[in-house]
């Protein structure tokens, strides 16, 4: 899915006869893998923006299913074992990275995960290369060791926070980073997530693949299969809805296993115990999220730990699909709901974490919306995302952060 044409959009520095300050520079992003997730998609989005202004966008990564999308957007994939957390392997990676910086004339390094950030930190200090980090997660830590390990993400010359919640979290845990924090909210590709541009055949293809009968509704939880994403809470809420007579709805868990095999067994056992074997389905990775969200009658984000942004929540609002999200982390920035705003300004529902009863209640209200109320909610939600969370805004603000660092070197 193309995120940005390789010609700079009108109004960008670098379009027309104006040369962008990053033109001719080689910018290296380093991320463990390119499979799925917010960090990986942001990597591709920024690579596309760099290509558009005449920079060379290198991405050092072990690879994955998104390599072809990166390359289609002008990014240059550099095979690199960035996913390794083995201390000896990380030492070898430091030598590899130092050589890569020299060989490619890298002007700036942007690390998007902790292990590669530890590799990049020492190398960039020795080579005097500007170093950027992005907090894609909370990285809170439950021990002194974990806090120390996570602290690397606060040691960038520029520390990008993907929400105001994240920025406050960084400043609280790592006060030394306060003057380097820059908020760049996550961007959504509003062209890809435009409901009017999604072919109905794509929606029908997913319904068939998920074995959804005509007349059945979909409640979608689109997230990696990990405990913190709240699948078990949704199972409880689904059981309550079924007991209340809501029997025309299927609950789809769309997401990668990503090494959580034991958790999958727990989920399957919980589904069976709740008597939901015919109602809850694990469908694996979904490569067409716009169609998946449009197919859904409701999107649920029942995380049990704070989300630093909530990409799926923003994508659901961009499509106009009703949304229920746990009231944690950056949720108030992404989803507007009373008492934060009046009822007539609501863009979704926020519920307390771990509260299956509250979740089922909000889901029922959302599922019972009449056509007029649903259309009004959808219009408000999309307007909210259009105003605040465009991918073009994220790209422009990230490139401005890069340019400011490079200007400071001259």
Position 337 pLDDT exceeds 60: yes
DSSP conformation letters of 55-72: -EEEEEE---TTHHHHHH
Dump pLDDT digits (tens) for 281-315. Answer: 999 999 999 999 999 999 999 999 998 898 999 99
Position 6 pLDDT exceeds 70: no
Contacts of 154 (CB under 8 A, 6+ apart): 133, 135, 170, 173, 174, 176, 177
Q: How far apart are CA 185 and CA 282, in angstroms?
A: 30
Q: How far apart are CA 215 and CA 276, in angstroms?
A: 19
What torsion do the CA atoms of 51, 55, 60, 63 make, to the nearest 10 degrees? 10
Q: How far apart are CA 31 and CA 43, in angstroms?
A: 8
Confidence of residue 137 (pLDDT cuts 50, 70, 90): confident
Of 44, 16, 23, the C-alpha closest to 394 is 44
User: What is the CA 67 to chain-centroid distance, rounded?
Assistant: 17
Position 15 pLDDT exceeds 90: no
Polymer length in residues for the chain: 410
Dump pLDDT digits (tens) for 384-401. Answer: 999 999 999 999 999 999
What average pLDDT does this structure show over 199-219?
97
User: What is the CA 331 to chain-centroid distance, rounded?
Assistant: 13
| pLDDT of 136 | 85
Q: How far apart are CA 329 and CA 109, in angstroms?
A: 28
Dump pLDDT digits (tens) for 142-157. Answer: 788 889 999 999 999 9
| pLDDT of 410 | 60
Position 16 pLDDT exceeds 90: no
| pLDDT of 10 | 41
Token pair for residue 212? 């959804």
Q: How far apart are CA 238 and CA 251, in angstroms?
A: 8
Percent of the chain with pLDDT over 70: 95
Q: How far apart are CA 110 and CA 58, in angstroms?
A: 10
| pLDDT of 8 | 46
Q: How far apart are CA 152 and CA 141, in angstroms?
A: 12
| pLDDT of 2 | 38
Q: Which domains does the chain have, with CATH numbers?
A: 26-187+390-409 (3.40.50.2000), 195-388 (3.40.50.2000)
> What is the average pLDDT score of the chain?
93
- The continuous run of DSSP H or E covering 254 comes out as strand 249-254
- Between the alpha carbon of residue 26 and those of residues 39, 64, 267, the distances in Å are 20, 22, 45
| pLDDT of 5 | 37
Whole-prediction pTM value? 0.84
- State the residue for tokens 């789809």: 252
Confidence of residue 89 (pLDDT cuts 50, 70, 90): very high
| pLDDT of 1 | 41
Q: CB-based burial of residue 257 (10 Å sphere; 0-12 exposed, 13-18 middle, 19+ buried)?
A: middle
Dump pLDDT digits (tens) for 148-207. Answer: 999 999 999 999 999 999 999 999 999 999 999 999 999 998 999 999 999 999 999 999
Cβ pair 109, 28 in contact under 8 A: yes
Give me the half-sphere count of Cα atoms (radius 13 Å) on the Cβ side of residue 297: 19
Position 35 pLDDT exceeds 70: yes
What average pLDDT does this structure show over 82-89?
93
DSSP conformation letters of 56-113: EEEEEE---TTHHHHHHTT-EEEE--TT---HHHHHHHHHHHHHHHHHHTEEEEEE-S
Confidence of residue 12 (pLDDT cuts 50, 70, 90): low
| pLDDT of 131 | 98
What average pLDDT does this structure show over 16-21?
80
What average pLDDT does this structure show over 377-389?
95
- The continuous run of DSSP H or E covering 216 comes out as none
């Amino acid at each position: 899915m193309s995120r940005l044409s390789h010609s700079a959009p009108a109004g960008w520095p670098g379009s027309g006869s104006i040369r962008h300050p990053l033109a001719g520079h080689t910018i290296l992003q380093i991320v463990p893998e390119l499979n799925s997730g917010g960090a990986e998609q942001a990597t591709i989005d920024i690579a596309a923006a760099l290509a558009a202004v005449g920079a060379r966008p290198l991405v050092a990564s072990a690879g994955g299913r998104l390599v072809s999308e990166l390359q289609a957007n002008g990014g240059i994939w550099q095979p690199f074992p960035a996913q390794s957390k083995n201390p000896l392997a990380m030492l070898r990676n430091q030598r590899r990275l130092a050589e890569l910086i020299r060989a490619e004339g890298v002007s700036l390094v942007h690390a998007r995960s902790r292990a590669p950030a530890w590799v990049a930190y020492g190398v960039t200090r020795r080579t005097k290369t500007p170093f950027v980090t992005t907090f894609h997660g909370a990285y809170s830590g439950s021990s002194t060791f974990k806090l120390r390990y996570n602290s690397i993400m606060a040691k960038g010359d520029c520390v990008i926070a993907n929400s105001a919640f994240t920025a406050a979290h960084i400043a609280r845990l790592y006060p030394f980073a306060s003057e380097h924090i820059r908020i760049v909210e996550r961007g959504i590709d509003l062209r890809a997530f435009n409901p009017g541009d999604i072919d109905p055949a794509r929606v029908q293809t997913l319904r068939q693949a998920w074995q959804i009968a005509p007349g059945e509704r979909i409640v979608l939880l689109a997230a990696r299969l990990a405990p913190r994403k709240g699948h078990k809470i949704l199972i409880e809420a689904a059981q309550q809805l079924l007991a209340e007579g809501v029997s025309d709805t299927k609950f789809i868990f769309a997401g990668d296993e990503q090494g959580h095999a034991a958790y999958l067994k727990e989920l399957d056992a919980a589904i069976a115990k709740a008597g939901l074997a015919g109602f809850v389905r694990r469908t694996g990775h979904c490569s067409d999220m716009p169609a998946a969200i449009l197919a859904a009658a409701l999107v649920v984000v029942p995380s049990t730990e704070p989300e630093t942004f909530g990409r799926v929540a923003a994508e659901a609002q961009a499509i106009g699909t009703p949304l229920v999200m746990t009231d944690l982390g950056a949720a108030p920035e992404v989803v507007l709901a009373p008492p934060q705003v009046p009822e007539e300004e609501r863009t979704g529902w926020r519920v307390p974490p771990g509260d299956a009863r509250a979740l089922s209640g909000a889901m029922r209200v959302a599922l019972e919306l009449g056509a007029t109320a649903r259309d009004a909610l959808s219009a408000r939600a999309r307007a909210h995302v259009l105003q605040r969370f465009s991918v073009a805004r994220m790209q422009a603000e990230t490139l401005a952060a890069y340019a400011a660092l490079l200007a400071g070197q001259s």
